[in-house]
Amino acid sequence: MNESPVRDLIIIGGGQSALATAYHLQRSSLDLILLDEQSAPGGAWLHGWESLRLFSPADASSLPGWLMPRTASLYPSRLEVIEYLTQYEKRYSFPVHRPVQVQSVERADSLFRITTNRGDYRARALVCATGSWSNPYMPAYPGSENFQGRQLHSAHYRSPEEFAGKRVLVVGGGNSAAQILAEVSKVANATWVTLTEPTFLPDEVDGRYLFQAATQRFQAGDTKTGGSLADIVMVAPVKEARSRGVLHSVRPFIALTPTGVIWFDGRTEAVDAVIWCTGFRPALAFLEPLDVLKPDGKVEVAGTHSVQQPGLWLVGYGSWTGFASATLIGVNRSARQTAQEVIGFLQKDPSP
């Protein structure tokens, strides 16, 4: 049986974090490839709901090296982001192999052996940039297994029409929940469920100012004051929902029943569907053979480098792999640092 060639580096993922990392490595002369499980460029944006938009303009939502072209409206649509990522990949001729689903990663002496649905790959170093879209989180609630209505995560939500005339709960206090509530409430009897009262930003503040303010506080070591990246940006659909008086929320129910929910005050209510806008967990199950995963699915890192596993980096999974690293504009810093560390590691470690 012929062994696969040994690459200097393999990047697992083909979305924004993988592309940003590849950009910073393009002048290194490393033998690298990207393994993307999607059938086309675009990463997680391929799976967003139909009306999804960024809440920053194109020039404030770009990857390193090339600004996103100006879009038809101020805030780029999901399809415009996909087109930008597609053209970005072509612009720099990144060596992306797709669709390739990574199943497991193991150590084979000084190399990583990556098992996929299209055979094995081997590499001296590995960058994981798979994001979290494929691992949506839905909290466990008593009675959820007996609920006869529909439950879906925001990852699988597409459009409001399928909920027309239904009684719907939208669960979650972030931007996804607010935007989905805004459109579902036009066709359904929708109730917004949040742990605490949502925080709304001023109408004139969008993702540009939010990111700048959060960056300044982060650099100053202040992580406790207001203006979180999770605060709700008042994009046009959310403003319109406010004008209809639907931007009010209630505290969580305590259990589901076969036909609905039991609220915190003991009331019961019939419900047809629950849309969970409750976030994601890192999509890193394939690393289990390396014994680096913590109970929450994360990996202990110093910056983006695995503390336990030499030659392994993780980019774009949120604050634990770099401030704002799960955003288009925010991933640049950690991607650049990762590229520098990878180059240094491979220069010190002679080829097998």
CA dihedral sign, ordered 134, 136, 140, 145: negative
* Rounded-to-integer distance, Cα 321 and Cα 319, Å: 5
How is residue 61 written in tokens?
A: 């939502």
Give the pLDDT confidence of 276-335 residue by residue, as tens digits: 999 999 999 999 999 999 999 999 999 999 999 999 999 999 889 988 888 888 899 999
Residue 139 neighbours by CB distance under 10 Å: 11
- HEC readout, 210-250: HHHHHHHHHHCCCCCCCCCCCCECCCHHHHHHHHCCCCCEE
Per-residue pLDDT for 339 more than 60? yes
pLDDT at 40: 96
Give the pLDDT confidence of 82-136 residue by residue, as tens digits: 999 999 999 999 999 999 999 999 998 899 999 999 999 999 999 999 999 999 9
Q: pLDDT tier at 1 (50, 70, 90 boundaries)?
A: very low
- Between 3-7, 57-61, 210-214, the lowest mean confidence (pLDDT) is in 210-214
Q: pLDDT tier at 226 (50, 70, 90 boundaries)?
A: very low
How is residue 46 written in tokens?
A: 């391929």
Give the pLDDT confidence of 171-192 residue by residue, as tens digits: 999 999 999 999 999 999 999 9
Could you tell me the domains of the chain?
Answer: 6-134+280-348 (3.50.50.60), 150-276 (3.50.50.60)
pLDDT at 224: 43
- Between 59-73, 213-227, 262-276, 312-326, the lowest mean confidence (pLDDT) is in 213-227
Q: pLDDT tier at 351 (50, 70, 90 boundaries)?
A: low
SS3 state at 176: helix
How is residue 297 written in tokens?
A: 């699915």
